Amino acid sequence: MKGFCERAVASKYSSKSSTESTDRGPSSVCSDSGSRDSKHDKASLWSNFFASAFSIFETHSESSNTEKKEIHSRNNGWTEAVRKVVTGGSMRRIHERVLGSSRTGISSASDIWLLGVRYKVSQDEFSGDAATNNGLRAFEQDFSSRILMTYRKGFDAIGDSKYTSDVNWGCMLRSSQMLVAQALLFHRLGRSWRRPLHKPLDEQYIEILHHFGDSEGSAFSIHNLLQSGKAYDLAAGSWVGPYAMCRSWETLVRCKREGTAFDNQPLPMAVYIVSGDEDGERGGAPVVCIQDASRHCLEFSRGRVDWTPILLLVPLVLGLEKVNPRYIPSLWATFTFPQSLGIMGGKPGASTYIIGVQDEKALYLDPHEVQPAINIRRDDLEADTLSYHCNVIRHIPLDSIDPSLAIGFYCRDRDDFDDFCFRASKLADGSNGAPLFTVTETHNFPKPVNHSDVLDDSGGVQNDDSFVAPPISDADGSAHEDDWQLL
């Protein structure tokens, strides 16, 4: 929350104002209409308002210890009350609508990669390079068009539990919903789709949001995800890891496929969980097996066709307390793949959905805002979809993300999958022995690298020409930094 307050204050430098669609949400976050001076004055005025409002929560850090105690004793009660109002979701959305996109930390000197699309950006409004200025606007429009899933409250109780909200425990569920929602957007509307300025809205867009409502009647609600994930210890009120989350999606999609006609599948694509072995408990780098991908497509189509669109989910653990630095360049590079769906994981102990990178920064959507439960009807083309989008650009250092994560990719057809395999193989070849995953035609080659292959009897690392596996703890609990870790 402090980060958001800082962004609200720092966004004063922007001389652009937001435009507002009839859907009450900013589909286009920048406008060229009106004079620059007028826009700058208005933005500065509103920025000063928000800066003043948010600054009341920074006064304690600027005071002496004695003053802190005095202020705390006098004002703790009303400060907490005002904090809830000023930093809550409603005020945040007002801030977004008045000031537009918050770009704190976005560099004007380097490009941004957002789910496979490269943007040349510049923060200099008066730059002579129109392409870079347009690049920043295009990036903001793309970012704000990604579907946001957050905590919700007030929905029907989940199963036999008493939970009517997923606050404080459902962030991984919401992060996974965002990733799958982007896959559906790319499949049904294409990568170039942007949130429309006017109503009626796209039927396909509304149908996608309908599938993620907060009730058992919505195919991909957290109610149904938790039900499908029981075999992986998913339960209301409990946090879940990326591997179990991926397997739960696999189970849910299979259940929906079996009970639905082929032409009416809510997720019209095969799902392939790429892991080191069948149960994900051991192994070296996960292996994308082309033979397995083909089998998943054949099963999904019920034998009708040899290849279908396919969603690949790659759960990984790339360190103990933090990501091993050896994997950072490869993680960064996955966002340059045209098939990229980003990463579900993010902050340690607080899952987010990472959708882009710039320099050392990871750009993400945050599910930790609490909003009222919503269920959009599939025929409601006038629906209010504001709560499903955000144009506050948040970021964290890529090397500080939680090492437990899952990467997603969407391949539209066989040619797209072949292109993905080419890029993934090239990435693995240049990974200096620490690939995120590898690609093979069949299971017979290459041979997976196991823990026993890279450790000698004394627990040391052997000199071996094969790639090294992620960090695995030995018998006394220590970990070898350069090894691959348990999946």
Q: Are 414 and 254 in contact (CB under 8 A)?
A: no
Q: Which of 23, 166, 214, 366 is catalytic?
A: 366
Q: Which of 368, 380, 451, 474 is catalytic?
A: 368
The DSSP element (H or E) to which 446 belongs, if any, is: none
| Phi, psi dihedral angles at 45 (to 5 degrees) | -60, -50
d(CA 141, CA 132): 14
Asked if omega into 200 is within 30° of 0 (cis), the reply is: yes
Question: Based on C-alpha coordinates, what's the Rg of the chain?
Answer: 23
d(CA 7, CA 3): 6
- Strands 117-119 and 112-114, bridge-based pairing: antiparallel
Tracing tokens 């867009």 back to the chain, one arrives at 205
Q: Dihedral sign for Cα 70, 76, 82, 88, please.
A: positive
Q: Are 465 and 433 in contact (CB under 8 A)?
A: no
d(CA 8, CA 465): 51
Q: How many CA within 13 A on the CB side of residue 356? A: 21
Sort 406 into a burial class: Cβ within 10 Å, 0-12 / 13-18 / 19+. Answer: buried
- Nearest CA among 387, 346, 405 for reference residue 3: 346
d(CA 474, CA 459): 7
171 is catalytic: yes
Q: Dihedral sign for Cα 442, 444, 448, 451, please.
A: positive
User: How many degrees, rounded to 5, is the angle at CA 224 between CA 300 and CA 189?
Assistant: 55
Q: Are 453 and 466 in contact (CB under 8 A)?
A: yes
d(CA 482, CA 284): 12
User: How many degrees, rounded to 5, is the angle at CA 341 between CA 338 and CA 345?
Assistant: 140
d(CA 128, CA 175): 39
368 is catalytic: yes
CA 177 distance to own-chain centroid: 9
Q: Which of 5, 171, 246, 289 is catalytic?
A: 171
d(CA 127, CA 479): 50
- Nearest CA among 407, 334, 389, 413 for reference residue 194: 389
Active site residues: 171, 366, 368
